[in-house]
Structure 1
Amino acid sequence: MFFPLSYYIFFFSLLLGSMISISSTSWFGAWIGLELNMMSFIPLITLKMNSYYSESALKYFLVQALGSALLIMSSFFFISLSYLASIFLFLALLLKLASAPFHFWFPQIMEGLAWPQAFLLMTIQKLAPMILLSYLLFSPFLVSMTLFSAILSALIGAIGGLNLTSLRKIIAFSSINHMSWMLIAISAGDSFWLFYFFIYSFIVFPIVISFHGIQAFTLSDLISSDSKTIYHASLIAFTFLSLGGLPPFTGFIPKWMIIQIMVNLNLFIPLFFLLISALITLYFYLRVIITFIILLNPAISFNMKYKSPNVSSPMLLLSISFNFFGLLLPAYFFLT
């Protein structure tokens, strides 16, 4: 259990806020849902009396309040300058999504969160702003801004994750990089980015569960942990390779779909930056994987004590098996 029973009410209201934003017929109702979502997530961050959690909660509140202020300010222009209002609204949602160039707050807040809260911030907290963002892509200028933000997110998410030892910051910059693919998918259609979003959520879930189980927050924590087994090494390795979009793992399927869409739309320049960034992110994923591979070498770790990991739950095994669904993809072409 990640949260005490007393905090499930906040989790329920967090989901309720997202549902209000998604199903609202006005921007005022969407704003109310976003505020409810934000105020429900802050108590979940400060689950324990910890200075790092309190600092992250304060930073998250200030950034989201700035995004809400931009959203409210955009409503002032809807009467006379509706086009300008849509631009301000678009920028406010980019800030709430931590998409470049408004990514600055995301890695720092992730650094101060526990793994379950980090998973919520990477997945559920981005669902409502992304759906609201898809409502705004009615003009070519906003689509061009989306492509520009996607290119920046791809480059910053790839370059920012280099030479980091903090696992939470590595996952944070990885999330910024994946946001670039989802922004491209949003400009193409709602079904594409929803498919990518759910695949990404299922892939990142076993990583969070595993790191939370062994309380690993840096690469040195992985080295000093008592869970250096073939089970953990394969779990981390396969999941990170799937997260990097390496075929034939499941994470390659949504990226392949978006690559085909971008080729059909002649978006070759954004596609070049996204593919280059995917290679760079795969490099810093391999840094985490190689740590496990080296430690499993008996010549190096013969004097280390090994402890059987107590994380082999059915949910975790199902999560890691999800990464191998991509192996079944060739069967689809043979059957059709």
Structure 2
Amino acid sequence: MISFSPYKIIFMFSLLSGSFLVVSSSSWFSAWIGLELNLMSFIPLISSKENQLPSEASLKYFLIQALGSAIIILSSTLTFFIPMISLSFISLALLLKLGAAPFHFWFPQVMEGLNWTQAIILMTIQKLAPMFLISYLSSEYYTHMLLFFGGISSAIIGALGGINQTSLRKILTYSSINHLSWMLFAMLINETSWMIYFLMYTLISASVAFHFASAQTYFFPHLINANYGPLPKIISSMNLYSLGGLPPFSGFIPKWIITQEMIQSSFYLPLFILLLSSLVTLYFYIRITLSSISISSAQMKWDIPLKPLKILPSPLYTSINLFGLLIPSMLLVI
């Protein structure tokens, strides 16, 4: 976990300030400044002198984000001469910063070198600024087509990439890429839809990552060999099912909204691909939960009462992911 030292609190504050600067900016120059402030604040949060993996991850992240910023700067010079080509390159640079397919190659490698707290920031807060900038460009024709093909490729790669993975961080990485495809198509419809989806995705993915962080689980064997009781395992299963969009958990609500709006917008083929990819992501979520619940670690019986419970069920985990169970009853009342 990130220690709350004063300088890291300052970097976290400047990271949020950079994101808010991008969201509220009225020019590409101020948006670029916000992106750079966000980047330079995140690098010290993930770098470490004691471990080689975070340092390598921070270097990879810096190089990719610097490449995206350089493309934005070069493309902005062409705005007055070839505006459509310039906006297309800016959109590609923002997709690269997001880690959307087919520019996703850096995302799993960076995530593998982070702990769960840093992974939460990378999966949620770091996506906020580029997604707002892409939503501003979504009305342009060429950007519209780039978002269309980027959404389809992200759905396919996000679903197929996580099948053979044993690392929980890589599984959540490919799940994030798959969720990004839903948000890209939501941008093509209206702005409110992708903001609702992003908010729900942030809450649910944070609950999943915090649960894994409290259990110190990073790979499949950590879930199987965990010594805590069945209740935390059931809670983690509910978290993963909610993240996969399985009804009636909370993760199904934003997908339900996007599905209805894609049907109204006649996006039938992309919707079919998104739904198939969601089924594939549910497959490896179910594989995780079945193996962790059905297989117990070997331990001596006289050791069981002596070992304290490592994870206490938090109301945050259950309230966020079980909120979807209340929606049908609320609709009946209305």
Percent identity, please.
48
The 5 Å alignment of 1:197-208 reads 197-208=198-209
Aligned-residue offset at 1:294: 1.4
Aligned-residue offset at 1:147: 1.4
1:276 partnered with 2:282: no
Q: Following the alignment from structure 1 to structure 2, what is the Cα–Cα distance between the partners of residues 152 and 309? A: 43
Which runs of 5 or more residues in structure 1 are unaligned?
A: none
Describe the superposition over 1:215-270 as per-residue Cα deviations: whole angstroms up to 9, x where unpaired: 2111112223333x122111111011111111100100000000000100110110
Task: Find the counterpart in structure 1 of residue 240 from structure 2.
Answer: 240
Could you say what secondary structure the match of 1:212 adopts?
Answer: helix
Call closer, same or farther: CA 1:199–1:48 in 2, change over 3 Å.
farther
Q: Following the alignment from structure 2 to structure 1, what is the Cα–Cα distance between the partners of residues 37 and 253? A: 34
Aligned-residue offset at 1:320: 2.2
Q: Following the alignment from structure 2 to structure 1, what is the Cα–Cα distance between the partners of residues 231 and 71? A: 47
Aligned-residue offset at 1:309: 3.2
Q: Which runs of 4+ in 1 moved over 4 A?
A: none
Call closer, same or farther: CA 1:331–1:96 in 2, change over 3 Å.
same
Q: Do 2:215 and 2:310's aligned partners in 1 also have CA atoms closer than 8 Å?
A: no
The 5 Å alignment of 1:240-259 reads 240-259=240-259
Aligned-residue offset at 1:141: 3.0
What number of residue pairs does the alignment pair up? 330
Could you say what secondary structure the match of 2:309 adopts?
Answer: coil
Task: Find the counterpart in structure 2 of residue 324 from structure 1.
Answer: 322
157-166 vs 215-224, which deviates more? 215-224
Task: Find the counterpart in structure 1 of residue 52 from structure 2.
Answer: 51
Q: Following the alignment from structure 1 to structure 2, what is the Cα–Cα distance between the partners of residues 222 and 318? A: 20
Describe the superposition over 1:175-196 as per-residue Cα deviations: whole angstroms up to 9, x where unpaired: 0000000111111111111111
Q: Following the alignment from structure 1 to structure 2, what is the Cα–Cα distance between the partners of residues 308 and 321? A: 25
Task: Find the counterpart in structure 1 of residue 121 from structure 2.
Answer: 120
Could you say what secondary structure the match of 2:36 adopts?
Answer: helix
Task: Find the counterpart in structure 1 of residue 61 from structure 2.
Answer: 60
Q: When the two structures are superposed, what TM-score results if normalisation uses the length of structure 1?
A: 0.94
Q: Following the alignment from structure 1 to structure 2, what is the Cα–Cα distance between the partners of residues 41 and 127? A: 14
Q: Following the alignment from structure 2 to structure 1, what is the Cα–Cα distance between the partners of residues 190 and 20? A: 20
Task: Find the counterpart in structure 1 of residue 11 from structure 2.
Answer: 10
Q: Do 1:202 and 1:319's aligned partners in 2 also have CA atoms closer than 8 Å?
A: no
Aligned-residue offset at 1:140: 3.0
Could you say what secondary structure the match of 1:91 adopts?
Answer: helix
Could you say what secondary structure the match of 2:217 adopts?
Answer: coil
Partner letter of residue 183 of structure 1?
L
Partner letter of residue 28 of structure 2?
W
Aligned-residue offset at 1:274: 0.3
Partner letter of residue 105 of structure 1?
W
Could you say what secondary structure the match of 1:216 adopts?
Answer: coil
Describe the superposition over 1:152-207 as per-residue Cα deviations: whole angstroms up to 9, x where unpaired: 00000000001111111001000000000011111111111111111111111222
Q: Following the alignment from structure 2 to structure 1, what is the Cα–Cα distance between the partners of residues 88 and 152? A: 18
Could you say what secondary structure the match of 1:117 adopts?
Answer: helix
The 5 Å alignment of 1:1-336 reads 2-6=2-6, 7-47=8-48, 49-227=50-228, 229-296=229-296, 301=298, 303=300, 306=304, 307-312=307-312, 316-336=314-334
Aligned-residue offset at 1:95: 0.4
Q: Do 1:205 and 1:319's aligned partners in 2 also have CA atoms closer than 8 Å?
A: no
Q: Following the alignment from structure 1 to structure 2, what is the Cα–Cα distance between the partners of residues 334 and 132? A: 39
How large is the RMSD of aligned CA atoms in angstroms? 1.6
Q: When the two structures are superposed, what TM-score results if normalisation uses the length of structure 2?
A: 0.95
